[in-house]
Structure 1
């Protein structure tokens, strides 16, 4: 999986991209953000949260 910063850098590069490709990247970024929010929420709920659990769910 690409890191969040890599995805942002891809969007900032000047290139002849179709709007469809740009929208797809933004959806990928939103998915990464949602996984980060979920991970943080699970950690807040359970202090013994195992990071491997989230990887199994994804």
Structure 2
């Protein structure tokens, strides 16, 4: 009976927790890359933005 109870208890380490952390980190990386891409695009369009970008970011 003890073996049955051990097998039926849920494990504490769930793989979904690790995957959600990885997804969150990936989203943060994507957001940083998107911000860098937009900054570069704005600098290509308007050279004056270069001065503003260094002050804000």
- Consecutive unaligned residues of structure 1, counting only runs of 5 or more, are 1-15
**For residue 20 of structure 2, what is the aligned residue in structure 1?**
20
- Consecutive unaligned residues of structure 2, counting only runs of 5 or more, are 1-14
Distance 2:45 2:20 in 1: 37
TM-score (norm 1): 0.58
- How many residue pairs get matched? 39
Matching of residue 46 in structure 1 with residue 42 in structure 2: no
RMSD in angstroms over aligned alpha carbons?
1.9
Distance 2:33 2:45 in 1: 18
Q: Which has more helix, going by share of residues?
A: 2
TM-score (norm 2): 0.59
